[in-house]
Amino acid sequence: MSSVDTKPERRLEEPPGREPAPARRRSDTVRAFALIRRFHGSNAPFVLGFLMLVFEALTAILEPFPIAYAVDYVTGRKPSLREAGLPAFLANERVETVLVLGLAIILIAAVNKGADSLSEVFLARGGRTLGYNVRVTMYDRLQKLPMAFHDKRRTGDVLTRVTGDVLVVEEFVVASLSNIVASALLLVGSFVVLLTRSPEVALIALVVVPVLALVANWFSLRLKRVSKEQRSKEGDLASTAQEMLSSIRLVQSYGRGHVDLENFSKQSDQSMRASLRIATIQAQFSFVIAVLEGLTIAGVLWLSFWLVDRGSISPGTLVLFVMLIQNMFKPSRKIVSEWYKVGKLIASTERIEELLERQPTVTDTLLSKPAPALEGRLAFHDVTFSYRPEHEEEAESRVVLHDITFSAAPGEVVALIGPSGAGKSSIAQLIPRLYDPDSGTVTIDGMDVRDFTLASLRGQVSLVLQETLLLTGTVAENIAYGIDDPDPARVEEAARLANAHEFIEELPRGYDTVLGERAATLSGGQRQRLAIARAFIRRAPVLVLDEPTTGLDPEAAAQVTEALRSLIDGTTTIIISHDVDLVSCADRILVINDGRIVQEGPPQVLARTSGPYADLFGRATAAGTPGAAPTPGREGPW
């Protein structure tokens, strides 16, 4: 299997001020085959497959000749093969001639079918390699595309591109390309033979070929348009199904399944209607080709009879002409049966290229270097940041951070608090370079994070998020997700530190228990403690906690907070939370409002100073539950 180059493309490193030259728009078919050339891997399977197709076409052209000779021999227009120079090997000359012609027919058919089978094998190898290369490249690109892309795209549509659209391209190469190429070779070869044997008959074929081309092009345009619509409908259908499955608890608890079913039924009906339109166009195409074939054969018969009457050709040659004309329409019918797949290929190629043409906004540069072992001295220097639209035609970018400046010493814990949308999570996302600032710098140990390779930087930053993300796999695999070759003892140690060992041992197979999608069988607190264990096992010098206790009941929140207190010990930590117990672990508080730092200081000092933090702290302690998070919407000015 050929490898796929997933290194950053050199053109990503062009100076910011230089605009790439606009590419000339290529035709849809050229773009489709350019994609195939780009990802096809080794040339060998395609070259060998093409040679086998040439053999197949040549043998198919030769097939009518023994039959034509037999007809002329029976009618007395041709001599026996012995008279034509074949050495005698049987006593009966007539039986000898018929036997040799029969063996020739069998041999030609065997070579024809053998070449056809080998071409399928070679093209299958090339097609599967192509599909592998495209899928891996798309997967790699999706991992590197900005969060803005993933936030705006429906997951089902993206999955359809990676699986369904790639499968369309793959199956075209495996199954359809051989039929189209072999048919084209047979079409051309049969015409050349006709031209050498009878220019008059060839003239009829010459008139028909441009008509076939025009008809095929007209139907192809219709098929391409409908196929693209159908692929889009299939993407919408997959997105709707994915959304329903991922939110099944909400659907069932609200009793709105019938509404979702109605929406799904409408989208399914639209996809079905698009498929039926494709089938209708293909049927119309086949009908037109069949009528043209009948007209052509009738014309060839009329002309051939006239030539036979004049003595210009023999009856065997008439049979030969009819079979050659059929040889021309047989591939035409194959092309008809495969041509709608060209429309699907073009539609799927456009959807694949639309994704591949998107460039990551955060990338390694040619000057990026691996990050050394970091101490965790974190600093923001005059950082301004805005969420830029994905496309230039979209709304203007929205500035969410304005001249943010602060620092955190190694091992210091800094808590960010403020209203929703103030910019707290945006600050956190700049540390592992999920985004890059518009201006200013983010440094760790005095070095700009943009000077490090992404993998080496993110390998030294751990995140524990509000939405716990667990993958399908065992408990041990989820804990060890962030490291290579984990030791079971190290996994268990991380689980103990995260207060997760006890409940893990109670699972059916302990650490080898396979978690389903989203680990729905675990409670929220249990899932969060597994995420904390995942952070423990990495022991990264920089830790980001983004609302890790939100949505948990007091008991679960207390268990998670206890685990987090151990995790942040000696680690440079950024905490985003409204949980006073968790915020009280901080050495320093930054109050963020409207993308600016409006208050800063140790929690004990800010609690005695009039301001947003004092309002939060005062309300929580006045309620008599210093360990609980304030009720949303009741944190003073927030």
pLDDT at residue 403, rounded to an integer:
93
Is the per-residue pLDDT at 10 higher than 60?
no
Q: How confident is the model at residue 6 (pLDDT cuts 50, 70, 90)?
A: very low
Q: How confident is the model at residue 617 (pLDDT cuts 50, 70, 90)?
A: low
- Cβ-count burial of 596 within 10 angstroms (0-12 exposed, 13-18 middle, 19+ buried)? middle
pLDDT at residue 27, rounded to an integer:
67
CB-based contact 597:406 (threshold 8 Å):
yes
Structure-block tokens of residue 578: 């409204």
Q: What percent of the chain has pLDDT over 70?
A: 85
Q: Which of 130-144, 150-164, 327-341, 601-615 has the highest mean pLDDT?
A: 130-144
Structure-block tokens of residue 28: 């849809």
Q: What percent of the chain has pLDDT over 90?
A: 15
Between strands 473-474 and 461-465, the pairing is unpaired
Structure-block tokens of residue 621: 């302690």
Q: How confident is the model at residue 16 (pLDDT cuts 50, 70, 90)?
A: very low
Which domains are present in the chain? Answer: 27-356 (1.20.1560.10), 378-460+540-622 (3.40.50.300)
| HEC assignment per residue over 414-458 | EEEECCCCCCHHHHHHHCCCCCCCCEEEEEECCEEHHHECHHHHH
Question: If you average pLDDT over residues 191-199, what whole number do you get?
Answer: 79
CB-based contact 535:528 (threshold 8 Å):
no
Q: How confident is the model at residue 430 (pLDDT cuts 50, 70, 90)?
A: very high
Question: If you average pLDDT over residues 77-100, what whole number do you get?
Answer: 77
| Whether this model's pTM surpasses 0.85 | no
- What confidence tens digit (pLDDT) does each residue in 200-210 have? 777 776 777 77
Contacts of 619 (CB under 8 A, 6+ apart): 630, 634, 635, 636
- Rounded to whole angstroms, the Cα distance separating 602 from 585 reads 10
Is the per-residue pLDDT at 300 higher than 50?
yes
Q: How confident is the model at residue 391 (pLDDT cuts 50, 70, 90)?
A: low
pLDDT at residue 14, rounded to an integer:
38
Q: How confident is the model at residue 596 (pLDDT cuts 50, 70, 90)?
A: very high
Question: If you average pLDDT over residues 473-493, what whole number do you get?
Answer: 85
CB-based contact 108:56 (threshold 8 Å):
no
Per-chain mean pLDDT for the chain: 79
Q: Which of 293-297, 431-435, 445-449, 489-493 has the highest mean pLDDT?
A: 445-449
Is the per-residue pLDDT at 631 higher than 50?
no
pLDDT at residue 441, rounded to an integer:
94
- Rounded to whole angstroms, the Cα distance separating 41 from 46 reads 10
pLDDT at residue 118, rounded to an integer:
92
Question: If you average pLDDT over residues 588-605, what whole number do you get?
Answer: 90
Structure-block tokens of residue 431: 């540390």
- Rounded to whole angstroms, the Cα distance separating 499 from 557 reads 12
Residue 575, helix vs strand vs coil? strand
Question: If you average pLDDT over residues 36-48, what whole number do you get?
Answer: 87
Q: How confident is the model at residue 625 (pLDDT cuts 50, 70, 90)?
A: very low
Is the per-residue pLDDT at 636 higher than 60?
no
Q: How confident is the model at residue 482 (pLDDT cuts 50, 70, 90)?
A: confident
- Rounded to whole angstroms, the Cα distance separating 482 from 435 reads 20
- What confidence tens digit (pLDDT) does each residue in 222-263 have? 777 787 777 777 777 777 777 776 666 566 656 667 777 888
Q: How confident is the model at residue 145 (pLDDT cuts 50, 70, 90)?
A: confident
Is the per-residue pLDDT at 451 higher than 90?
yes
Question: If you average pLDDT over residues 112-129, what whole number do you get?
Answer: 90
- Crossing angle between the packed helical segments 177-197 and 44-62, to the nearest 10 degrees: 40
Is the per-residue pLDDT at 630 higher than 60?
no
Residue 369 region by backbone torsions, left for phi larger than 0, else alpha for psi between -120 and 50, else beta:
beta
Compare 451 and 258 and report the one with higher pLDDT.
451
Residue with structure tokens 């005698």? Answer: 88
75-81, Cβ contacts within 8 angstroms, sequence gap of 24 or more? 75/314, 75/315, 75/316, 77/314, 77/315, 77/316, 78/314, 78/316
